[in-house]
Amino acid sequence: MWQRIQTLYLMISTALVITLLAGTAYTVANPDGLEKVSYLQLQRPYFAILLSILACMIVLALIVYKHRILQMRLAALSAIVALGMQIWLAWMYFTFQGPVFKWTVIFPLVICICNLLAARGCFQDQLMVESAYRVRERRKRNKKK
């Protein structure tokens, strides 16, 4: 499990999701000029639900490392969810005038890239296993002749 590159990509994604759950995404200025830190997941419960689902999918993809096809599908699906979150944050950025966004807003994009790279690594592992299986089958057939 640990010697595969997709595990590293999924671990990076997990760390970024946890950072998003615990951190701030933007601040809002009060009328008196002081900045009030607002946690995005507390103000927008749908965002917290999406982050929780994303975290569960990535952790599940880490756990099912013996089932490469399921791991690949979970990584690809979590990349789509992360891309949707990034589009939602971009929509918020261009729609609302009050909030000042932090640099953590780009984390869903990084999560999406890491998950796509993890899915690609799972796919390459699956191709390698299938080719090794074909070689073994060919050798068995040649020995029987």
Q: Residue 38 forms beta bridges with which residues?
A: 26
Side chain identity at 145, as an amino acid letter? K
Percent of the chain scoring above 90 in pLDDT: 43
CA-based diameter of the chain, in Å?
88
Tokens 């990535």, residue?
A: 58
Work out the pLDDT band at 96, boundaries 50, 70, 90: confident
| 100-137 residue pLDDT tens | 777 888 899 999 999 999 999 999 999 998 998 888 88
More confident residue, 7 or 135: 7
Please state the pTM of the whole predicted model: 0.82
Average pLDDT over residues 45-66: 89
Is 16's pLDDT higher than 90?
Answer: yes
Within 13 Å of residue 19, how many CA atoms lie on the same side as its CB?
A: 16
Question: What Rg, from alpha-carbon coordinates, does the chain have?
Answer: 21
Number of domains in the chain: 1
Tokens 């009030």, residue?
A: 36
What pLDDT sits at residue 22? 80
What value does the mean pLDDT of the chain take? Answer: 83
| 19-49 residue pLDDT tens | 888 876 666 666 666 555 554 544 567 888 8
Average pLDDT over residues 85-102: 79
In eight-state DSSP terms, residue 30 is: -
What pLDDT sits at residue 35? 59
The CATH number of whichever domain residue 111 belongs to comes to 1.20.140.150
Domain that holds residue 60: 5-144
What pLDDT sits at residue 30? 60
